[in-house]
Amino acid sequence: MSRYVFTEEQKLAVLRRANYQCEYCKFPKDFSHDHFHFEHIFPLVKGGTNDLENVALSCYTCNLKKWIFTESKDPESGETANLYNPRNNDWEKHFKWNDDLTVIIGLTSTGRATIQQLDMNRPGLINARKALVSHGAHPAQNKIT
Ligand SMILES: [Zn+2]
């Protein structure tokens, strides 16, 4: 199977739409040591397409942890919940930052399931968020929308 190649125009559209941040953990691309990926919200192996509406800008680890999942267990209720979908869901409805902006808190079953599945509060990421805050570059300090 040949790999689909996005055009430069499509790549720029995805980057701009995401405000150059991981659409899940909100880490800014320009501060990441790692490559960002075009993550298929509905996985190709499950019939998802390369349509830009099915593509999210994702940091390497969020993409790796999401893998082919579209749902996971809400750690609070134990029930299966849909994972956060950047095209259909509002981030602020499902997540919020703690007071020092280092930890993402799930507000809904989707938020909690996504945080757990994607490991969105991994220790290295919490430390990196501390650095972003001290640098004035945390996404919550730089809302453009
Ligand atoms: Zn991420």
Q: What's the gap in Å between 125 CA and the centre of ligand 1?
A: 9
Q: What's the gap in Å between 75 CA and the centre of ligand 1?
A: 19
Q: What's the gap in Å between 9 CA and the centre of ligand 1?
A: 23
Residues whose Cβ atom is located within 5 A of ion ligand 1: 22, 24-25, 59, 62
Q: What is the pTM of this model?
A: 0.94
What was the pLDDT predicted at 4?
A: 84
Per residue, what are the HEC states of 54-106? HEEEEEHHHHHHHCCCCEEECCCCCCEEECCCCCCCCHHHHEEECCCCCCEEE
Mean pLDDT over 94-104 rounds to 98
Q: What's the gap in Å between 36 CA and the centre of ligand 1?
A: 9
Q: What angle do CA 69, 94, 43 make, to 5 degrees?
A: 20
What digits encode the pLDDT tens for the residues 101-127?
999 999 999 999 999 999 999 999 999
